[in-house]
Structure 1
Amino acid sequence: MKIKDLRTSFVNSLSGLYDSTEILSFFYLLSEEILGLTRVNVAINLDKILSDDEISDFDAAKNRLLHQEPIQYIIGKTDFYGLPFAVSENVLIPRPETEELVDWIIKDRLNSNDPIAILDIGTGSGCIAISLAKKIPEARVYAIDISEPAIKVAEENAKLNKVNVTFIKANILETQDLSIDFDVIVSNPPYVRELEKIEMKPNVLDNEPSRALFVSDDQPLVFYEKITSLAKNKLKKEGSLYFEINQYLGLETKDMIENLGFTSVEIRKDLYGNDRMIKACFD
């Protein structure tokens, strides 16, 4: 089978489940992974004959896509803030909105070369902690997660990106104190309420780790309350607390943070216009 025939078959098989642009993006990602060919190389090698193994690998990937498994899990990697990250079913797939949170922190630190301590709570793949370690090289970066498999993925990603991050296995809800004081505490904790599952696509619901996504409807801010309480005592005098937040609970989250003693709290919208990030500090 030639590449052009495989492409036609691949597109036809997935039509109706995904739009054509997305299907082609899947095809080119798989071409690079399986064939070692970029999109441009594919275009100039459409008559190349594929081996049985190559066809088999494409078929296996196609079947996983038919079951709406995320392409990032299929190829085992993704990009975040311009950096490569390994991903697996044990970690959430990093999202563009989280890149905006990272960018906010980095820009806040642009004019300072002072050594700082950063803590990322609920690190998952390590995308926040590792990106900050890469872009703020003078920082000492620590990261907490409850999942041992997630920490192993994050450790792999730290090596991949050649940064030093101290990873700690811990349940933040059971943590009574943090060992040192921090200049920055950041978290993208579980924040999707059970009632919001109806809004989510099957590729997320059926594949990404639910423990990293969902909170109960009656305690949607449980992680924010705990982390804010810890941050109140463990942030340095001019330190800052950053959260990614549930778009529907921006004002409730802001009020809670202020009620716990922070006097300067700012909500920012993401690229889609949703309330998505909060920064808190003391005046």
Structure 2
Amino acid sequence: MTVSEYLEYCARELDREGLCFGHGTDNPRDEAAWLVSASLGIPVQALAGAAGEELEPSVAQHAEKLLRARIETRQPLAYLLGEAWFCGLRFEVNADVLVPRSPFAELIADRFHPWMDAREVTRALDLCTGSGCIAIALAKHLPWMQVDASDISPAALAVADRNRRLHDLESRVALVQSDLFEALANRRYELIVSNPPYVARRAYEGLPREYLAEPALGLISPGQGLELPLRILAQAPEHLAPDGQLFCEVGESAGALEYLLPDLPFTWLQFKHGGDGVITIGRADLMRHRPAVVRALENLNDVL
């Protein structure tokens, strides 16, 4: 069987089993390409050049084992491989961290243009860093920045530390264990990015098994998915420089956030390569509307 033939077989099997795709790919063909290229030990971009080659028995056996594990366990392929890609960079991943997939990759590649001049940023914070992918991508693509990366989970920070070492960034990416801003007193940043938990528990319980394989700590936020995003909005002004900017992903909670805070001048970002539910807002606007954010946080369970 050739590489091309096995790729087609693999895509058919993934499609037939009705799996959920959303952890690095969004369709069975791309997932099959990732699985086969990983089994061959080549970049997925090189797969076309190997299409006519015969698949060696040992490679076929390894690929089939991965395919069966993906189908039977519904684990994201990234967990089975122990790696994922974000912003063109390889990262170690396991079940202690979410699989990287944030639209922040596009923002970083575009250097946050046109929303801010990233050349003026010397210190940045990645809040709820997980695997460290956003912080490390910031440091790699914007090499003049010093980046703090915080997370409440020691297990996640251990993964982030290995990824920081993988990319030789120990001197430019600092890891901090913190419940949001709790351990970041007196630190100020020109840029804060955050992909916090924003999924309501009820919504989480209805997610496909692939998402349930991820750490609930990285997905679920109390208060119908809004408590953590609202805490970030309320506390961020204390940690932003005077002209600082916050970028925060709120995903499926976007509509509820707009309902709660209709007067806040959020800019909702649009992406060329998919993704939504990301806001940006400056420190001055956050300060001006902070009383409304605090009220929304205090009355959260009564309103929704």
State yes or no: 1:185 paired with 2:192.
Answer: yes
Equivalence for 1:267: 268
1:244 Cα deviation (Å)? 0.4
CA RMSD of aligned residues (A): 3.2
Equivalent position to 1:151, from 148, 154, 157? 157
CA contact (8 A) 1:80 1:95 kept: yes
**What stretches of structure 1 of length at least 5 have no aligned partner?**
none
C-alpha deviation, 1:23, in angstroms: 4.0
Q: CA deviation at 1:254?
A: 8.2
Aligned to 1:230: 235
Change (3 A) 1:167 1:96: closer
Normalized per residue, the structure richer in strand is: 1
8 Å CA contact 1:270–1:276 kept in 2: the answer is no
CA contact (8 A) 1:3 1:49 kept: no
Match of 2:92 among 56, 68, 86: 86
The aligned counterpart of 2:217 is 211
Please state how far the C-alpha of 1:11 moved relative to its aligned partner: 5.0
Structure 1 distance, partners of 2:147, 2:51, is 43
**Separation in 2, partners of 1:109, 1:268:** 9
Q: 2:82 aligns with which of 48, 71, 76?
A: 76
Q: Are 1:91 and 1:208, in contact at CA under 8 Å, matched by a contact in 2?
A: yes
Distance in 2 between the 1:223 and 1:197 partners?
15
The CA deviation string for residues 86-127 of structure 1, in whole angstroms up to 9 with x for no partner, is: 211111111153324545763258756445211111001112
Identity of aligned residues (%): 26
Identify if the C-alpha distance between structure 1 residues 241 and 105 changes in structure 2 by more than 3 Å, giving closer, same or farther.
Answer: farther
Partners of 2:105 and 2:203 in 1: CA distance = 23
Residue in 2 aligned with 1:117? 123
What amino acid sits opposite 2:250 in the alignment?
A: I
Give the conservation status (yes or no) of the 8 Å contact 1:90–1:150.
yes
CA shift, 1:140, in A, is 1.2
Please tell me the residue identity of whatever aligns with 1:85: F
Distance 2:241 2:33 in 1: 47
- CA distance in 2: counterparts of 1:273 and 1:133, whole angstroms: 23
Distance 1:276 1:80 in 2: 19
Q: Assess if the C-alpha contact under 8 Å between 1:97 and 1:271 holds in 2.
A: no
Aligned position for 1:247: 252
Cα distance in 2, alignment partners of residues 147 and 176 from structure 1: 13
Distance 1:254 1:108, change over 3 A: farther
Give the secondary-structure state (helix, strand or coil) at the position aligned to 1:192. Answer: coil
Deviation of the 1:265 alpha carbon: 2.9
Partner of 2:288: none
Structure 1 residue matching 2:16: 3-state secondary structure: coil
- Looking at structure 2, the residues matched to 4 and 267 of structure 1 have their Cα atoms a distance apart, in angstroms, of 41
1:184 to 1:44, Cα distance in 2 relative to 1, 3 A: same
Q: Shift of the alpha carbon at 1:278?
A: 1.0
Residue identity opposite 1:16 in structure 2: R
Give the Cα–Cα distance (whole angstroms) in 2 for the partners of residues 106 and 132 of structure 1: 10
Q: Is 2:209 the counterpart of 1:202?
A: yes
Indicate how the Cα distance of structure 1 residues 223 and 103 shifts in structure 2: closer, same or farther if over 3 A, else same.
farther
Q: Give 2:75's aligned amino acid.
A: E
Residue type of the alignment partner of 1:167? L
SS of the residue aligned with 1:69? coil
Is residue 170 of structure 1 aligned with residue 178 of structure 2?
A: yes
Change beyond 3 A, Cα 1:126–1:273? closer
Q: Distance in 1 between matches of 2:8 and 2:218?
A: 37
Gaps of 5+ in 2: 20-25, 286-304
Which residue identity lines up with residue 214 of structure 1 in the other structure? I
